[in-house]
Homo-oligomer: A and B are copies of this chain.
Amino acid sequence: MARSKPPRPRAHLSKDGVLHTAVALASRDGIESLTMRKLSDELGAGAMSLYHYVPNKEELIDGMVDIVFGEIELPSRNIDWKSALRWRAISTRHVLNRHRWAVGLMESRVTPGPASLRLHDAVLGCLREAGFSIEMTIQAYSVQDAYIYGFALQEKTTPFDDAEESAAVAEEQTRQFAELAEERQFASLAEEFPYLAEVVAGHVAKVGYDFATSFEYGLDLILDALEKRRDAS
């Protein structure tokens, strides 16, 4: 009785709607499973309808990335520069954790969208107003963003979310390596990679590793160092 072609009730689309459901889908199922057909299904439309709002998949992703940029909080103008930049960095990490698929794509797109431009401008402005020279502003910007996005990259595919889970994972991986070593005629982890063993099996497995704490440690290290360099010039 199932008609093979129930005439669709006509979908009503918009560029914003397309982009936002695309983001939602990518964040839920991962970007590698985001398909023009799946996206259009989710919207109750035909696959080719999407092409009225987006010229191709590449530019669809550009749009998605700019939505993610838009979720990052701009550095506040009412507090000191270090706190402001600290907070926007933490905000960036949060957003990137919500949208892991975006991690390798944010900084490496060719054509930046408006939200991206707005954020970049705000960060540069924050540094300039804090008394950094143009040259130092560029450097400061570069270090911070490299760190932020690089850190997100490390976090992207880790199978744990907090310190406790990290300990469990470390233990599990250590065990797996031991198996693998036995299976072949390998040396043990401790013999072949003593320092790695010390850190993974000896420390993380016992104490755990917390990404949030680690991120802020490195962030403060960088911001403090930037301040010193500014004052020295």
Complexed CA–CA distance, A214 and B157 (Å):
28
Q: Which of B107, B117, B134 contacts A154 (CB 8 A)?
A: B107
The answer to the question of A203 belonging to the interface, with a C-beta cut-off of 8 Å to chain B, is yes
Q: Which stretch from A48-56, A61-69, A79-87, A188-196 is at the chain B interface?
A: A188-196
Complexed CA–CA distance, A142 and B134 (Å):
28
**Which residues of chain A from 78 to 124 have a CB within 8 Å of any chain B CB?**
103-104, 107-110, 117-118, 120-122, 124
Q: Which of B143, B159, B214 contacts A221 (CB 8 A)?
A: B143
Given contacts A134-B199, A195-B121, contact A153 B150 (CB under 8 A): yes
List, in ascending order, chain B residues with CB within 8 A of A198's CB: 124, 128, 134
Query: B221, A138: Cβ atoms under 8 Å?
Result: no
Tell me how far the C-beta of A57 lies from the nearest C-beta in chain B, rounded to whole angstroms: 12
Using CB atoms, name the residue of chain B closest to A214.
B142
List, in ascending order, chain B residues with CB within 8 A of A221's CB: 143, 222, 225-226, 229
The answer to the question of A131 belonging to the interface, with a C-beta cut-off of 8 Å to chain B, is no
Complexed CA–CA distance, A143 and B145 (Å):
12
List, in ascending order, chain B residues with CB within 8 A of A148's CB: 146, 150
Query: A108, B143: Cβ atoms under 8 Å?
Result: no
Query: B138, A194: Cβ atoms under 8 Å?
Result: no
Given contacts A134-B198, A134-B202, contact A218 B142 (CB under 8 A): yes
Tell me how far the C-beta of A5 lies from the nearest C-beta in chain B, rounded to whole angstroms: 35
Query: A121, B193: Cβ atoms under 8 Å?
Result: yes
Q: Which of B120, B202, B209, B224 contacts A196 (CB 8 A)?
A: B120
Query: A143, B134: Cβ atoms under 8 Å?
Result: no
Complexed CA–CA distance, A153 and B196 (Å):
26
List, in ascending order, chain B residues with CB within 8 A of A150's CB: 107, 145-151, 153
Complexed CA–CA distance, A195 and B193 (Å):
48
The answer to the question of A137 belonging to the interface, with a C-beta cut-off of 8 Å to chain B, is yes
Q: Knowing that A107-B154, A108-B157, A146-B146 are A-B contacts, what are 9 other residue pairs whose CB atoms are under 8 Å apart, sorted by A's residue number?
A: A107-B150, A110-B159, A121-B196, A134-B203, A143-B147, A143-B221, A145-B150, A146-B218, A148-B150
